[in-house]
Amino acid sequence: MLTNLQQQPADALLALIKLHNDDPRADKIDLGVGVYRTGEGDTPVFRSIKAAEAKLVAEQDSKAYLGPEGDMGFVEALMPYVFGKADPSMGGRIEGMQTPGGTGSLRLALAMVKRAGYSRIIVGVPSWPNHAQICADLGLEVVEFNHALASGTTDMDALRAAIADAREGDAILLHGCCHNPTGIDYSNAQWDEIAGLIAAAKILPILDLAYQGLGKGMEEDAYGLRRVLAAVPEALICYSCDKNFGLYRDRVGALYAMVGDPADLARVMSNGHNLARANWSQPPDHGGAAVRLVLEDETLTADWLAELDEMRERMREVRAKLAEAGTAGSADLTPMGGQNGLFSIVPLNKDQVLAMRTKHGVYMAGSGRINVAGLTMGNIDKFIAAVADVTA
């Protein structure tokens, strides 16, 4: 019976990694995989995480199962950073659970949405490819709207129209900050409007906060999420620590649910626990425990926040250099200066992306998406010249 399975296409981004690794050119540039890199091209373990791991190794006295909810100390320690220090639980209306990365959080959120009776998810495109893939696997219909204009700004008219056309029982999935793949975020004023539109339409917001701290700052990057939560009775929040703690391979995430009545919270979360048990049973412990230890120690917390500042500043320097270049060939790089996070889309067609790879050794997704952190002051001029060459 296994022979009835159909061949599935290889993941394009993973295939790109292999192509880059096999390229013998010393000056090749990898702008594909979405991990942070230093100015020297490394993806280091955070100092704060190293310190927490040393403490974990010295003090952890058991490897017993955590339960499907995971390390609740980790889940609760994150909440003031996500929801605000004044009232992180919104009066007992918010509770969370640990998940294997942001992907696990999204999978769980969308499975809960389907179990609750939702069938359509409104999603701005382009979006992270796994959003649509998870929806398809769960049998949820994706209703698309255009996220951004060619000018490098959000397409608010498209969003307004999508919400106006929403049906009762629809959900909307929004990136909280550092939009993947465009880097084009909503302004605070736009978030104010979006919150009101979602509340008026009575649709469920699913907020994907995968890059908090890598855009404008921890507080600034949470503005949109908090504004929406203040306006609606219910929401699901998907969180990833993979990027802002550098824990990519440890898969550290959390799912939070907000309800209108605190009395409903235990029932809602019981469904999260039940679905988790049927998927991964228990989340991995190590990464979540390390984050918890960082957030429980004022010195380690301060060092973590300083490391985030360093990362954000480096990416801002790269973006400023791209914007300063202006037009490279026929490609306008100026909008990248005002975008946020790891990603941006260079306006190249597939043939030009292929030429970037074959002629110049610059590896990027077929959509033109680049990982901005793959650029350094040592290779950015080569990148700009390559863009100019293939678009001339």
What are the catalytic residues?
Answer: 128, 208, 243
- Cα–Cα distance, 33 to 370 (Å, whole number): 9
Using the CB atoms, write b or e for 94-115: b if 16+ within 10 Å. Answer: bbbbbbbbbbbbbbbbbbbbbe
Cis preceding-peptide flag for 68 (omega within 30 of 0): no
- Cα–Cα distance, 80 to 190 (Å, whole number): 24
Classify 116 as helix, strand or coil: coil
Please compute Rg for the chain using Cα positions.
21
Share in percent of the chain as helix, strand, coil (round to 5): 50, 15, 35
CA 102 to chain CA mean position, Å: 7
Spatial CB neighbours of 322, under 8 Å, sequence gap ≥ 6: 333, 336, 337, 344, 372, 375, 380, 384
Q: Would you say the C-alpha torsion 388, 390, 391, 392 has a positive or negative sign?
A: positive
